[in-house]
Every structure is written in C-alpha cells, then in structure tokens.
Structure 1
Amino acid sequence: MNRVLRPSDDDALRAALRRLQPQTELPVLFGGGVSGNSLTITSYVGTHSTLLRNLEINAACGLGGRAIAEQRTAVVQDYANSSQITHDYDYEVGTERIESLMAVPVVVRGETRGALYGGLRANLPIGDVVADKMMRASYSLAREIEIRDEVDRRVAMIDTAAVEQVSSREAKISETLTESFLALGEIAAGLQDENLSAQVHAVEAKLRALTAPAEIVSAIVLSPRETDVMRYVALGLRNAEIAERLSLSVETVKTYMRNLMAKLDVRSRHEAVVEARRHGLIL
C-alpha cells in the first residue's frame, strides 16, 4: 500500500529551534539527529559561519557527545578553557564566538534521537530559566518523534495485515480453482458424450493453467498422476477420498504417496505439500 512518507524529523527540530529563539533570546541555536554513535548538525538559527553545518559529533567527544552518551543536559561556561569536554570541536564553536554552551539530548523511549544546542557569545552562565525552556523543548520534540514512531508502527501493522489478507485471499482462490479443475476432470471422465467431454476437458485445462506454478528449476519431476494425487493431498483429502476421486484403489494411492515422499525426501504428508510447493510442483 502506498502511504504518505513520514516528514523529516529535521523539520520538527528546525521548528523547535525557531520557537526557542524568542523564548530564550539565545543568539545561536543549532541541533541535529543521532544515528549510531554520532550526531549530525542539520538545523541552525543565528549562526554566522557554515562550519557547524553537517558537522558530525561523535558520542565520545565534545559537549554534545557527553549529552548524547549520558542522556542528560550538559552545560559549560568559558568553553575554550573548560576541563569538562574533549575540545574536539573548538575551532567550529570558536568561529561562532560561542563562550557558553548547553547541549540537551532528545531521548525517545530510552534512545537518544537528537540534541538541541544553545549558545551565548559571552562568558556568562546560561540561567535556569533558559535551561528549563531548552529542556521543555527537548521533551516536546521527543514526544513528537515518539508519536511519529507510533504512527509508523501502526501503518506498518495495517500494511502487513493487508498483505496477509491478500495472500490469504489469493491462496483461497488458488485452492478453489484447483478443486474446480480436478472436479471437472472427474466429470469429464464420466461423460458418455465425447464432444461434451472434450468441452469440459477444455475448461479444465484453462483452469489448470491458471494454477500452474511459477517457473522454478527443480530436479524433481512428477508424473501427471502424481501431480494430481499431490494436489488432492494439498487440499486435505485422505487416501480413500483421493482413490474415489481418481478411480483408483486405495493401495494404488498409497503407492503414489510412497513414491512422492521418496522423491520429495519427506516423512509426512504435510512435509510433502511444503516441499512440492517449494519446488514449484504445485501451488
């Protein structure tokens, strides 16, 4: 089933940053999504250079890496001289003249899915009020991503159910067609009128062609009679019922079944049906 594609989570992150700027009055905001052990900066508000754009932040490095790994807000003042971070990204942060920086992880069901950054271009503390707004934005974004995940999960369930329903319906149609052409073969065999018998056989052949298995290269070859016996087995008929349908003795049907099981290298009727279908011998 064709579904509308899920909007990019980066769009939701950019919207969160745009809402944050007037709320916090932070001069620079940026963020991105997490994939594996790294975060890629994809959204920016108030940046002066392009150095932060698409920058990959390793979870083991920098302030953002610490926030991702520990799944909690990380803050540093006097960024360039801080002993709390690895300084892998000093050049990029320094080019933006950021002196105080906060990184807030976006955690969805125990998994870090992104991070929001807020920076001051002054060696001043980022106050509790601003920090609280940053964390609220993170929680809101996490909730939105969680809802999108749940929608995707439910759509996948619907699509899977639809496919299973179609497969079930197709299997039922195929089974009905098989029953029909086998029954027509029995009817044709009992008709005295040769012309009428030929017409019934022609219809039987058309139905048989509709259920012909896909072209699969198999070393196993069944005779026409073995194929008919196997088809009846697949329909759930017992040996006595198959014997009656094909005007054979029960012992003859048992012989066919022994030969079929030997050819298919199986020990049960169910396994025989599975193997026959796997080799494209029946549907």
Structure 2
Amino acid sequence: MSSSLALPDSSPTATRPRQRIRVSVLATDPLVRAGLLSELRDKPGLELTTDQAEADVVVAVAETALRDLLIPFTRLVLVADEPRQAELWSAVEHGLAVLVPRDEATTPRLLKAIVDASQGRGDLPPEQLGILLRGLSQLQRDVLGPRQLTLTGLSFRETDVLRLLADGLDTGQIAQKLSYSERTVKNILQGLLTRLGLRNRTHAVAHAIRLGLI
C-alpha cells in the first residue's frame, strides 16, 4: 500500500493546532492488524490507540469474529469485500461511517476514510448503499410500521405531538388538533420522556430538533 498521502495540514494562517484523530485498529488476523498499524503509524494528524472507547475512529477488517470485538456507537471504517446484508447491518449497529473495499484499501484511501469518519461524513459503495436502503425499507414495512414506529425511533403519534409542541401549542390545543384526549397527549409525552431519558417537554423538542427527528 502506498504511503505517499498524509492527512491535510492546517492552513499556515491557522491560530489553533489541529486536533489529532485517535484511531484504533481491529483485525482478528494478527498479520493483517500488524500491516494496518504499520501503514497508519506516524502519519501526521493520527494517534494510534489500543482502546476503542478512547478512539475517535475504529478501522476494522471484516472477518467473522470481528463483530464480537467491536463496541457499539463508534465511528467505524470497515474494510470488507461485499459484506452480506446481515454483516452490513451489524456494521451499521456498531457505527459504520465508511466502507472501503479491500482492493481499494491503500494508505491514501484509508487516511481519507478516517478523516471522513471523524468529521461525520459517510461513504458506501453504490452496491452496499442499495442493500442498506432496501434493508431499511424492509425494516419499516415488516417491523416498525406494524408497531406504529418510524425509522426516527419515534412513533407516529410521538412525532405528531412533538411537532405541534414545537409550534407552541399546549396540551389542550394538541389534543384538539389530533382528536385525542388531554390524558392521551400527556401519556404520549410522559412515555417519550421516560424512554429517551429527557427532563421535560422543552428538552424533548430540543432533542428532536437537534437530531433532525422533526
């Protein structure tokens, strides 16, 4: 793998040093892991760590046992060849941000993937993106829809109530608008606050807006 490309340097006029990206490398094959560590070691802007919990980005090579090594909610760069749908979903559950085909896993490509993942950008090959979108559609149709849930994690009723709450309506006005009783509206809000660990209605609206749920 070529190592000619380093992470982009800060502008000469920048007044603050650029924060280093902490990267953890995972592979069940020790030779593969050693190769990745060798490629990424001493690269400008990177700091290698063995602790996933401290890493900004985890670079992992897809192998059968890898799912047992990953912790959820990381920013994951996955190196894999055409993962099956179940493997792709597992990667998504663990925070998949960028999928790099093995034959494209050059040092420049990995460095770009790490920067993209650290900055919250995603990148999937078209074939894998198609698999993911079809899977989301199936999940909504077969699992979430029958339970009156959406891909946002909110039910249809919760979404409706939060949108009206964000518009400034009070409990009585929301109940009238949706043809619910006031008790039903209160129960919907209380269930939402409890499930998401939110403090109050204002916090619930702020949470939903911040995550783009409403």
The TM-score normalised by the length of structure 2 is 0.29
**Bigger RCO of structures 1 and 2 (CA < 8 A, at least 6 apart):** 2
- What TM-score, normalized by structure 1, do the two folds share? 0.22
| Structure (1/2) with the larger helix percentage | 1
Compare CA radii of gyration and give the structure with the larger one: 1
